[in-house]
Chains A and B, each alone.
Chain A
Amino acid sequence: MVLKVVFLLISLFTVGSAFMVVTHRNLFSSALFLVASFFGVAALYVLLEATFLAVAQVLIYVGAIATLIVFAIMLTRGMMSGRTSPRNDQAVWAGLSSVVLGLVLLYVVVYRVRWPVVEKPVPPDTIERLGSALVGPYVIPFEIASVLLLAALIGAVLIAREREI
């Protein structure tokens, strides 16, 4: 019962912030709402007993991605306010199609399908097993992800660097 109330509060917070992200006219405020939304998702992970993912979510999304986004907004500051409308001319159609997709998703995926739910506790050594899985059966995705990160690192530096003309 308590868990359900907590879940409802967190998800209301998350979805509400996400709504503000896509509708707020000021880009910087949207970015702050995005941070709030990320926090909400991290809280959902805690409810799902995935503490490692929750902490990683705060570290990567709030610490790295949101900071990067805010930084990019600051550097491309001409766009900030007033001069141009933050919405394009297909906003109405975008809204309509999103609502339709949402209804379809909710109906088919959430209420039509019977998911094979099992009531099992999370094993206490999940983190150790996650660690060994990442360097065991999933070593190739893990290594590819690290190569991807390295490539992104080099690429980002190369693209954003000021060229001497």
Chain B
Amino acid sequence: MVPLSWYLTVAALLFVLGLYGVLSRRNAVAILMGVELMLNAVNINLIAFWRYTRPDNVAGLVFAIIVLTVAAAEAAVGLALFIALYRLRETVNVDEIDLLKG
């Protein structure tokens, strides 16, 4: 069987890559993609822990399903915001959206 730490390594790498995407991208859609990667990493961890420590308890799976739901809701609202923003300002680059600066 594959050791648990291998899964955790993959999840950590995915999380870090997602973080880099969030921090370094200018385009809001690209930032959202980074966030999705991070959520995926979290889910891998949840399922790996479920499988390796308590496979007879479905709590890990339930948690992962809730994360999935929240990710879907977040993507829908986020992308609706970007589209509204693009219509208003013709850009989705986060460093050009500084309306509050006046």
Contacts and interface: CB of A to CB of B under 8 A. Distances in A.
B2 interface: yes
Contacts of B86: 75-76, 78
Measured as residues with beta carbon below 8 angstroms from the partner, the interface class of chain B is: 35 or more
Interface of B: 1-2, 4-10, 12-21, 23-27, 29-30, 32-34, 36-37, 40, 43-44, 47-56, 58-59, 61-62, 64-66, 68-77, 79-84, 86-87, 90-93, 95
B93 A18 contact: no
Interface string A38-63: 10010011011110110011001100
Contacts of A47: 2
Nearest to A102: B16
A117 B52 contact: yes
Nearest to A85: B26
A50 B40 contact: no
A155 B73 CA distance: 10
Interface string A15-51: 1001101100001001100100110010011011110
Contact of B21 (A21, A50, A79, A93): A21
